[in-house]
Amino acid sequence: MSYQVLARRLRPTTFAEIYGHAPIVHAIKNSLINKVVGHAYLFTGTRGIGKTTMARLLAKALRCSNLTKDGNPCHACQGCLDFESGSSIDVSEIDGASNNSVDNIRELVTNVHYLPTFGEYKIIIIDEVHMLSASAFNALLKTLEEPPQHVKFIFATTEPDKLLGTVVSRCQRFDFRPASKTELITFLVNVGKQESIAYENDFVIEQLAEQGRGSYRDTLSILEQLITLSGNRQITEDILVNALGVARGSILKELLLYLFSGKTTEVVALYRKIILENFNPKNFMASLSSLIFSAIEKMDDFQSFFPNEKLKHFDLHDLSFAELAWIYEVIVKDTDWAIRSSGPEKSIEIILRKVTRRREILFNKDQVITTSQKSGPDVTISQSVAPKPTWEQFLSYAQSKMGTLATNLMEGNLTKPMILSENGIDIRYGFAKESKVFFEHFSTPETLTKFKDLISEFFNISKENITLSAVMVGDDIEFRSIAQEKESVAQAEKNSKKQEFLQNPMVKEFEKLFNKKIEKVQIIDGDKK
Of the candidates 106, 170, 96, the residue with the CA atom closest to the CA atom of residue 133: 96
* Predicted pLDDT of residue 387: 57
- The pTM of this model reads 0.61
Taking the CA of residue 127 as centre, how many other CA atoms within 13 Å lie in the half-sphere pointing to its CB? 16
Angle between helices 237-244 and 216-230 (to 10 degrees): 110
Is the confidence at residue 112, as pLDDT, over 70? Answer: yes
For the purposes of burial, counting CB atoms within 10 Å of the CB of 153, is it exposed (0-12), middle (13-18) or buried (19 or more)?
buried
pLDDT of residue 380 exceeding 60, the answer is no
Decide if pLDDT at 110 tops 60: yes
CB 481 within 8 A of CB 412: yes
Q: How far apart are CA 15 and CA 50, in angstroms?
A: 11
Find, among 211, 221, 167, 258, the residue nearest to 6 by Cα.
221
Amino acid at site 176: F
Confidence band, pLDDT 50/70/90 cuts, at residue 52: very high
More confident residue, 384 or 371: 384
Is the pLDDT higher at 443 or at 188? 188
The CATH-assigned architecture of domain 249-362 is Up-down Bundle (1.20)
With cut-offs at 50, 70 and 90, classify the pLDDT of residue 381.
very low
May I ask the CATH class of domain 391-472? Answer: alpha beta
By three-state DSSP, how is residue 491 classified?
A: helix
Confidence tier at 524 by pLDDT (50, 70, 90)? low
% of residues, the chain, pLDDT over 90: 32
Closest CA to 260 of 208, 305, 202, 211: 305
Q: What is the pLDDT of residue 323?
A: 87
Instruction: Cite the residue boundaries of each domain of the chain with CATH code 1.20.272.10.
Output: 249-362
For residue 331, give the 3-state DSSP assignment.
helix
- Does residue 196 surpass a pLDDT of 50? yes
CATH number of 181-244: 1.10.8.60
Region 89-95: what's the mean pLDDT? 88
Residues 54 and 359: their CA atoms lie apart, in Å, by 51
What mean pLDDT is predicted for residues 38-58? 93
Phi, psi of 494 (to 5 degrees): -65, -45
Q: Where does the chain hold its CATH 1.10.8.60 domain(s)?
A: 181-244
- Of the candidate ranges 60-74, 78-92, 103-117, 495-509, the one whose mean pLDDT is the lowest: 495-509
Give one DSSP letter per residue of 210-242, joined into a string: HHHTT-HHHHHHHHHHHHHHHSSSEE-HHHHHH
Question: Distance between CA atoms of 308 and 324, rounded to whole angstroms?
Answer: 20
Quick: pLDDT tens for 29-38: 999 999 999 9
Residue 5: HSE in the Cβ half-sphere, 13 Å Cα cutoff:
12
Task: Indicate the pLDDT class of residue 346, thresholds 50, 70 and 90.
Answer: very high
Q: Is pLDDT larger for residue 493 or for residue 67?
A: 67
pLDDT at position 371, please?
A: 36
What residues does CATH 3.40.50.300 cover in the chain?
6-175
pLDDT band with cut points at 50, 70 and 90 for residue 507: confident
What mean pLDDT, rounded, does the chain reach? Answer: 84
Q: What is the DSSP letter of 475?
A: T
| Contact residues for 232 (Cβ-Cβ < 8 A; gap 6+) | none
Q: Within 10 A of 118 (CB to CB), how many other CB atoms are there?
A: 12
Looking at the chain, the domain(s) classified CATH 3.30.300 span 391-472
What letters, b where the CB count within 10 A reaches 16 and e where it falls short, cover 229-252? ebeeeebbbebbbebbbbbbbebb
| pLDDT higher than threshold 60 for residue 274 | yes
Considering only 134-148, 305-319, 326-340, which range has the smallest mean pLDDT? 305-319
User: pLDDT at position 379, please?
Assistant: 39
Residues 435-453: tens digit of each pLDDT: 888 888 888 888 888 888 8
Q: Using CA atoms, how far apart are residues 458 and 402, in angstroms rounded to an integer?
A: 13
Helices (H) and strands (E) in the chain, counts: 25, 13
For residue 163, how many other CB atoms are within 10 A of its CB? 20
CATH architecture type of domain 6-175: 3-Layer(aba) Sandwich (3.40)
